[in-house]
Amino acid sequence: MKISWRPRAADDFDALITTSNSGHVAHASRDKSLVETRIQQIIRFDTLGRKTRRVGVRELHIEGTPYVVVSQRIDEEILILRMFSNGSAVQAR
């Protein structure tokens, strides 16, 4: 199984990591690593996250961050559709 990103999702990821942690390089690096690790876990556990109204689409909250990854399994591929910030405050780092 492989992971693919829609261009818009990749742009979301770059923008969120850059803007929400501007000035905090350590936080940005940590958040980026957390997101990438959780996305890799989807390969083994493709039912991670909660179901949405759309068939086959799941939302995975990235613990310790305000980020949510929206993905869909299509055959042997996990497609990252979007990534967004849920706007919640992250507990002390």
Domains of the chain: 2-85 (3.30.2310.20)
Which 8-state DSSP code applies to residue 53? Answer: S
pLDDT of 23: 58
Average pLDDT of the chain? 84
Convert the pLDDT of each residue in 11-56 to its tens digit.
Answer: 999 888 877 655 566 777 888 889 999 999 988 888 889 999 998 8
Task: Tell me the one-letter amino acid at 8.
Answer: R
- Given a contact cutoff of 8 angstroms between Cβ atoms, the answer to whether 80 and 39 are in contact is yes
Task: State the residue for tokens 């759309």.
Answer: 54
